[in-house]
Every structure is written in structure tokens, then in C-alpha cells.
Amino acid sequence: MLFEGLDFTINPGQALVLEGRNGSGKTSLLRILCGIRLPEAGDLLWEGEDIFQLGPEFHEHIAYLGHKDGSKLDLTPLENLRIAKGLGKAREDIDLEEALEQVGLYGFEDVPTRNLSAGQQRRLAIARLLVTDAKLWILDEPFTSLDRKGIEHMERLFEGHLNKGGMAAMTTHHRIGFKDEIELVRINLSDR
């Protein structure tokens, strides 16, 4: 068993930050939170109901960004966002070009994704979060491949999500520069 005795709640406006050494179970816990992996013991609840009983009803409230960006490399950023918007519960208050502009990819909308840098591909993955109406963003190393300015910009986007009542669960090896009003719940899995 990787960890035991975990008990936490993520409320609207909060971010859960999982810390720990490599192999301590951070990614495994995120996959459990998504319902991708079953826990060995315990309960995982969404608004008081077991996520595994809720099934698709739970999944419409979450968006997952893993180690891999999950973009189709032969498609353009605009085409990737169209697919993302069509697969989940879409936000109606943002169009695809605006999402690309918010992550600094406006002007690259028609470039095949495989021709984008690793940092630009990561920005595209984050843009997919922006076009969904998911309340809980589950983020595994979301700042991978981003430069310092890109990290700061993405932190502001994540803050915007949290300030609107969204929630996040994330792992990161980068120091998080959220504003003071954002409440971080930290769990160090190396201590478990």
C-alpha cells in the first residue's frame, strides 16, 4: 500500500497540493480521485455520494491533465479544442479562439500540434481545461515544460478557476505562486 490514513476535503475555491518524493503515490492518488484507479480501501465522495456509484455523473464535473498532454498531434490546436469541447460539458461563455489567446497560443490555431514546442503543447492541454465546465481540475505536474513566465501566467488562470468556485487537486515540483487569498490544502505523501 502506497499510503494510508488519508482524510481530506476539497471545497470550492481550494486547491489540494500533493507533495512528496518520487514514487510516494502522488500520481496514483490523482488517478484514484479521477476514478481511473480503484482505491484499496476507503471512500471517495463527491457531494456526499460515492464517485464509483455516480459514474458518468461524477466525471462531468472533473477534468484531468496528466503527465502526457493528451492532444492529437496531427490535429491543430483549434481542432483539439473542438474535440475537448464536444467530449465533455462545455463552457458556453468562452469560444475556442479566446481559450487559445488566454494560454498564449493565439496565432497558432491552425498549426499542426506536432509542430508546437513542448511548452506550447502543455499550454494547449491547459486550454482544454478552459473550454470545459468541469468544477474540479485534477492536475499532474501542470507546469511541466513551461518557462517561468508561462508558469506565472498559468497560475493566474488556475486562480481564476478557483476564484469562480472551482477546485483543484494537483502535484507539482514547482513552488506555487498563487495569491494569498487562495487556500492551499497540502498533503505530503512521503510522510504516509
Q: What confidence tens digit (pLDDT) does each residue in 45-98 have?
A: 999 999 999 989 999 999 999 988 899 999 999 999 999 988 878 888 999 999
Q: Among residues of the chain, what percentage have pLDDT more than 70?
A: 98
Q: Is the pTM of this model over 0.85?
A: yes
Long-range contact list for 36-41, CB < 8 A, 24+ apart? 36/64, 40/1, 41/4
Looking at the structure, give the CATH architecture of the domain made up of residues 14-191.
Answer: 3-Layer(aba) Sandwich (3.40)
Q: Write down the pLDDT at residue 192.
A: 66
Q: What confidence tens digit (pLDDT) does each residue in 122-133 have?
A: 999 999 999 999
User: Would you give the distance in Å from CA 144 to the centre of its chain?
Assistant: 12
Cβ atoms 34, 64 nearer than 8 A: yes
Residue 157's SS3 state is helix
Cell of 41: 480501501
Cβ atoms 45, 51 nearer than 8 A: yes
Closest to 63 in 3D by CA, of 171, 163, 159, 168? 168
| pLDDT bucket at 175, cuts 50 / 70 / 90 | confident
